[in-house]
A and B are shown apart, each in its own frame.
Chain A
Amino acid sequence: MSDVGELTVTLLRFGFLILLWILVLSTVGALRRDLVVGRRNRVGTPTAREVRRNPELVEQPAPVRTAARQLVVTEGPLAGTVLELAASPILLGRAQESSLVLEDDYASGRHARLFPQGSRWFIEDLGSTNGTYLGGQQLTRALPVEPGVPIRIGKTVIELRP
C-alpha cells in the first residue's frame, strides 16, 4: 500500500460494496413506476406546467353514455322480439346455435356477432354473404353500436335500446 493507509483501503473496500448496492437499489427505485404491467398507471393529477407542455393530459369528461340493455328486432319476420343483453356476446344468423336465429334467406348461418367491450357493444360481420349494415353502411370491421342505430341483416333490422 504505497501512500494510502490500511484503514483507508479497508474503508474504500467496504465503500465500494455499498456503492454497488446503491447502484442496484437506485436502479430498482427508478423502475418503481414501471412495475405495473398492462395497466395504465395513473400518477396524480398533472401540474399546470405539465399540462402546458402536454395539452392532451387534460381529460375530457367522458361522454355520458347510457349502456344498452335490450336488443329489439324492429323489422323483418321476427319484428317485435326483445332480447335482454347480458355480458356475453350474441351470435346472429340462421344457425341453430345462434342467440337470435334469423329465419331469413338473405342471412348466413353465422352472420354477425355483437359483443360487449368496456361500456360499449360492438358489431362484427363474420364473413356473411350479403353483409351487415350499421346505420346504412356496410361493415368492414368491428364497429361500436350506439343505442338507436339500426343494424340490418338481410330483411331483419335490429336495434339496441337502453
Chain B
Amino acid sequence: MSDVLTVPRSRRTVEFFLLLLALVVGVGANYLANLGRGEPVDDYLLSVALTLGLMGLFVHVILRFRAKYADPVILPIVVALNGIGLAMIHRLDLSAVAVNPDFTPVAPQQVLWTIVAVGAAAALLILLRDHRLLPRFTYTSLVVSAILLLLPLMPPPIGLEINGARIWISVGFGTFQPGEIAKITLAIFFAGYLSTNRDLILLAGKKIGPLQLPRFRDLAPMAAAWVVSIGVLIFQRDLGSSILFFGLFMVMIYVATSRVSWVLIGLAMIAVGVFVALELFSHVALRFDSWINAFDPEVYNRTPGGSGQVVQGLFGLADGGLLGTGLGGGRPDLVTYANSDMIIAALGEELGLIGIVAIVMLYVILVSRGIRAALGTKDGFGKLLACGLSFTIALQCFVVIGGITRLIPLTGLTTPFMSAGGSSLLANWLIVALLLLISETARRPTVSAPMKNSFPEPVGVTGKLGRTRSAKGARG
C-alpha cells in the first residue's frame, strides 16, 4: 500500500505564475503612485521593479533547488505586500517633498532594506535547510533574545530614545529595532522549551473543577514571559512589543498543552499588568483616554497623547470610502507616521474598502498557510514554531489595524512587510523563510511508503511459527 496517493507536485510552477501576478501588483502600485502624483516613470520606479522582480525570482529559484515542496503561495503574497508598502511609502515621500524640498525620501532606503531582508531570507533558506536543527539552539536563542532586548537600554552611543520609546539602537548607517528579531528568537526558545517539556507540564498539577491547574514551578516560564513583557513596557515604554511577546507566549503554551487554565492565568496576569501600567504610566493611560474619547476636541488637540493621529486616520478612511481616492489622489500625508504605524490608514484612504479588504485577505491567507504548515509538519517543535510565527504576523495585523480603526487603543506596532522600517521588514522576511522551510517538511512526500517501514511485516505462519509448532509436537 503506497502512502502517496496523489502525484507529489512541487507546485513551483504555480508559485512562478502567482509571483508574476504579485510582481504586476507590486510594481503596478508603484507606477500608479507615480501617475497619481503626476510624476513620470523615473529611476526609482525602475529600481523598485528590478528589486522586487530579481529578489522574488531569486527566492523562487532557491526554493526550486533547496525547498522544492515549500508552500507555493507564501512568497507571492509577501512580494505583493512588500511592493504595495513600497508604493505607499514612495507616494508619501512625493507629498512630503512637494511641501518641504529638503525632505529626505524614505522609500529608497526601504528598497535597500528590501534587498537586505530578502537576501537574509535567502541566506537562511540556503544555510538552514531544515528547521529541525533549530531546537539545538533553544537556550542559545533565549540568551540572544535577552541581549537583543537589553541592547536598546544601553547608554546613548548604542541605545537611542525616539519619541519616548527606547527600542532602537544605532547601527552605523541607521537605526535598528532589535526587538523585532527578538520575537523570532523568543519563538524559537518557546517552541524548543515547550516541545521538550510539554508532557511534564501537562501531567503534573492539581485538578480543580473543570480546570487542571499547572504546578507552581511549571509556571516559571510563563512568569518569565510576563516579566519580559512588563520589562519591555516599563523600561522601553513600548506597549505594542510587550503585547506581542506575551501574546506569542500565551498562544504557544495553549497550542502545546491545549489547557484553558493557562489562558485564564495568562489573561489574569495581563489584567494585572494593564492595571499596573494604567496606574503607573501616563502614556498608557493617555492611550486609553484617546481611544475612548477620541472625538473629544480637548483630547484631539492634546499634546502629547492626543487622539489627532488616529482620528485623522479615520477621516482618511472615511474619505476613501468604498473605492478609494486612487493612489496619489488622497491626503494621507496629513496623518503623522503615515508611512509606518499608520500605513493601513493611508492605504485605506487611497485604495478604499475594496483594496484594504484585499490586503487583509492577503494577510489572512499568509497566516492560514503558516498554520497549515504547522498542521502538516510532523515534529512538535516545527508545529509550535510555525504556529507562533504565523501568530505574531496575525497579532501584529490585529493590533495595528484594530488600533487604526479604533477597535482597540492604538499602539505602535509595525504592519508586517509594509511599514517603513528595516528591522521589521528583515524580521518578517526571516519569519517567511522559516515558514517556507517548515511548510517544505510538511508537504514533502515521504520517500518510501512509511507503513511498510514503521511496522515490519507481520511474522508469517511459516518460519518461526513452524518451529513453535514442532516444539509443541515434540513435547506432546
Q: For residue A2, which residues in chain B have a CB less than 8 angstroms away from its CB?
A: 38-40
Neighbour of B326 across the interface among A9, A23, A134, CB < 8 A? A9
Q: Are B361 and A24 in contact (CB under 8 A)?
A: yes
Q: Does residue A64 face the partner (Cβ distance < 8 Å to B)?
A: no
Residue pair B467, A19 in contact (C-beta under 8 Å): no
Closest A residue to B39 using CB positions: A2
Chain B residue contacts of A137, Cβ below 8 A: 459, 464
Bound-state CA distance A83–B449 (Å) is 34
> For residues 78 through 137 of chain A, which have their beta carbon under 8 Å from a beta carbon of chain B?
134-137
Min distance, Cβ B394 to any Cβ of chain A, angstroms? 17
Distance to closest chain A CB from B18 (angstroms): 6
B72 within 8 A of A: yes
Q: Are B459 and A54 in contact (CB under 8 A)?
A: no
**Apart from A17-B355, A135-B468, 9 more pairs, CB < 8 Å:** A16-B29, A23-B362, A37-B375, A40-B6, A53-B7, A59-B2, A136-B459, A145-B458, A149-B461
Q: Is B36 close to A, CB under 8 A?
A: yes
What separation, in Å, do the CA atoms of A9 and B56 have in the docked complex?
28
Any B CB within 8 A of the CB of A48: no
Q: Does A76 contact B (CB under 8 A)?
A: no
B318 an interface residue at 8 Å Cβ cutoff? Answer: no
Interface residues of A in 123-159 (CB under 8 A from B): 134-137, 142-146, 148-150
Distance (whole angstroms) from the CB of A159 to the closest CB of chain B: 10
Contact A27-B365, Cβ < 8 Å, known A4-B35, A13-B32, A150-B465: yes
8 Å CB interface, B364-397 against A: 365, 369, 372, 375
- With an 8 A cutoff between CB atoms, is B352 at the interface? yes
**In the assembled complex, B323 has its CB within 8 A of some CB on chain A:** yes
Q: Which of A12, A34, A136, A149 contacts B467 (CB under 8 A)?
A: A136
A31 and B36 CA atoms in complex are apart in Å by: 34
A–B complex contacts, Cβ < 8 Å, 25 sampled: A1-B35, A12-B32, A16-B327, A16-B355, A19-B24, A23-B21, A23-B80, A23-B358, A23-B362, A27-B76, A27-B77, A27-B365, A37-B372, A40-B6, A41-B6, A46-B7, A53-B7, A134-B459, A135-B460, A136-B464, A143-B458, A143-B459, A149-B458, A150-B465, A150-B468
Q: What residue in chain A is nearest B358 (Cβ atoms)?
A: A20
Instruction: Evaluate contact between B4 and A54: CB separation under 8 angstroms.
Output: yes
Interface residues of B in 216-249 (CB under 8 A from A): none
**What's the Cα separation between A53 and B10 when bound, in Å?**
13
Q: How far is the CB of A153 from chain B (nearest CB, A)?
A: 14
Binding site for B on A (CB under 8 A): 1-2, 4, 9-10, 12-14, 16-17, 19-24, 26-28, 30-31, 34, 37-38, 40-43, 46, 50, 53-54, 56-60, 62, 75, 134-137, 142-146, 148-150
Q: Which residue of A lies closest to B469 (CB)?
A: A150
Which residues of A have CB within 8 Å of B32? Answer: 12-13, 16
Given contacts A12-B32, A27-B73, A150-B465, contact A54 B18 (CB under 8 A): no
Q: Is B455 in contact with chain A by the CB < 8 A criterion?
A: yes
- B358: chain A residues within 8 A (beta carbon): 17, 20-21, 23-24
CA distance A54 to B32 in the complex (A): 46
Interfacial residues of chain B within 5-45, with CB under 8 A of chain A in the complex = 5-8, 11, 14, 18, 21-22, 24-25, 28-29, 32, 35-36, 38-40
Interface size of B by Cβ–Cβ distance < 8 Å?
Answer: 58
Q: What per-residue 1/0 map shows which CB atoms of B100-120 lie under 8 Å from chain A?
A: 000000000000000000000
Q: With a CB–CB cut-off of 8 A, which chain A residues contact B14?
A: 30
CB closest chain-A residue, reference B360? A24
Complex CA–CA separation, A10 to B460 (angstroms):
76
Which residues of B are found within 8 Å of A136, using beta-carbon distances?
459, 464-465, 467-468
How far apart are the CA atoms of A31 and B361 in the complex, in Å? 14
Nearest opposing residue in chain A for B461, CB measure: A148
Is the CB–CB distance between A149 and B459 below 8 Å? Answer: yes
* Contact, CB under 8 Å: B461 / A146: yes
The complex places the Cα of A57 from the Cα of B323 at a distance, in Å, of 49
Whether B355 contacts A24 by the Cβ 8 Å rule is no
CA distance A16 to B327 in the complex (A): 10
Selected from B4, B22, B28, B372, the residue in CB contact (under 8 A) with A16 is B28
Chain B residues, Cβ within 8 Å of A34: 372
Pair A20/B467 contact, Cβ less than 8 Å: no
On whether the beta carbons of A26 and B18 are closer than 8 Å, the reply is yes
B157 at the interface (CB under 8 A from A): no
- Residues of chain A lying within 8 A (CB to CB) of residue B327: 13, 16
Check A1 against B38 for contact (C-beta < 8 Å). yes
**B133 CB-CB contact with A under 8 Å:** no
B426 at the binding interface (Cβ < 8 Å): no
CB-nearest residue of chain B to A51:
B7
Chain A residues within 8 Å of B29, by CB: 16
Q: Which residue of A lies closest to B34 (CB)?
A: A2
> Shortest beta-carbon distance, A111 to chain B, in Å?
19
Q: What residues of chain A lie closer than 8 Å to B8, measured between beta carbons?
A: 54
Q: What's the nearest-Cβ distance from chain A to residue B171, in Å?
A: 35
Instruction: State how many angstroms separate the Cβ of B24 from the closest Cβ of chain A.
Output: 7
Say yes or no for B324: interface residue by CB 8 A criterion: yes
Q: Please give, as numbers and ranges, the residues of chain B lying within 8 Å of A27 by CB-CB distance.
A: 18, 73, 76-77, 362, 365
CA distance A9 to B456 in the complex (A): 68
Kindly list chain B residues whose C-beta atoms are within 8 Å of the C-beta of A37. 372, 375
Residue of B nearest to A27 (CB): B73
